[in-house]
Structure 1
């Protein structure tokens, strides 16, 4: 019998509330299926908590750390999700069937991660997706620190110029080779792992063909230019825009 449930830690009243919102019966069944497939042997504490999803530290059958992202069906903004899905020809909309919508949303993030990972970009390697659960690579901070890689919003950077250059390179290749726009890029969903930025939270990422892709890209650029000031890297909006949008 897998140790999935017995190793799940509920350490505080906040954790207990998270648990009641995340681990509904259907989600538990999905986790057990993933356990039988070897993707999750144990599920430990929370790595991060968001409005749409929680990410947990898991361990697979080979003893490797994995990140387990569970979308919270109760708190998802289904109107927003349906708008993003409706503009993506890779996926079908499902009316008002909330479970099918969240399954599509999870698959969307898996496909976006796969698309970027296969181009060699710094995103967590996606392993599998099932209904509202996504299993992917666990990113640690460094060789000497196995704690979860922190977002840029919570750290100081010794190599800020190099990090932001890598972020711009990511945006360039994502847009011009993967035909993807993140759509919500900022210091809050860029992790620092082994001195390099890794981009996460890609469920809302859209294809360039999406009617809102240009608007979303320009918002991403504004966010990164604004965030760069915190790290004393003075990026210029027009420079970044013309670097990424090459046809102008």
Structure 2
């Protein structure tokens, strides 16, 4: 029985190796950067654990990570975020981790740093998700790979949920009120500040905003937390104007940082 389990895992890994092949020359370069031998070993472990049966294409690409559409052992779609070791800004990452008491310093060991960074996103997502906030449900994290809920656009459109930067909104007022509510609960109950919140990392799924990319989110006890919160508010004020809203910095901050 155990032998069959490992044969199944081997088959899953072959599928992963087949489906990771990308089409264009640029994608081939990305593929070599993303799917290094160490990352393939991590994907193999996830396949053995049932989290991942195949990768079926790229959802998004970025300087720090790529997100792929995956299928787990239950044939359920999942989002697979793979941090790209060669392009990560380790100086920035070390600063964020150093200010977070949940993580130990890892010196200059790049694999340990990237593992801590991935775990930081997993823990932040878990913290927010448990409070009922709109973030992808995190399933597991192993080294530089994070597996989480796949967010579709709508019940009638199974494509990946788009960021607010790429859509028009008929209910912009409601959406931005939800974003402010998110910031409020994240700050006051989860004790977290996103630190890089904008229309580029807020997805629109089933008519509601979902916040992603929370690896850099910091505890409110972090010495830079208020500065980061102010930056988030400024971004949301700026983004709201793109949807013909007139939100102000003071209005949002007073909603979040309530005077005793």
Q: Is the 8 A contact 2:233 2:253 kept in 1?
A: yes
Q: Is the 8 A contact 1:9 1:44 kept in 2?
A: no
Paired position in structure 1 for 2:95: 83
> How far apart are residue 9 of structure 1 and its match?
3.9
Paired position in structure 1 for 2:196: 184
Paired position in structure 2 for 1:122: 134
Report Cα offsets for 1:135-154 as digits up to 9, x if no partner: 00000000110000000000
> How far apart are residue 104 of structure 1 and its match?
0.1
1:198 aligns with 2:210: yes
Paired position in structure 1 for 2:59: 47
> How far apart are residue 8 of structure 1 and its match?
2.5
| Count of aligned pairs | 248
Output the TM-score relative to the length of structure 1.
0.99
List, as ranges, runs of 4+ consecutive aligned residues in structure 1 with deviation greater than 3 Å. Answer: none
Q: Which of the pair has more CA radius of gyration?
A: 2
Q: In 1, distance between residues paired with 2:129 and 2:191?
A: 13
Unpaired runs of at least 5, structure 2: 1-10
Unpaired runs of at least 5, structure 1: none
Q: Is the 8 A contact 1:113 1:125 kept in 2?
A: yes
Paired position in structure 2 for 1:8: 20
Report Cα offsets for 1:64-94 as digits up to 9, x if no partner: 1000000000000000000000000000010
Q: CA RMSD in A?
A: 0.8
Residue aligned with 2:200, SS: helix
- Superposed counterparts of 1:1-248, under 5 Å: 1-2=11-12, 3-247=15-259
> How far apart are residue 15 of structure 1 and its match?
1.1
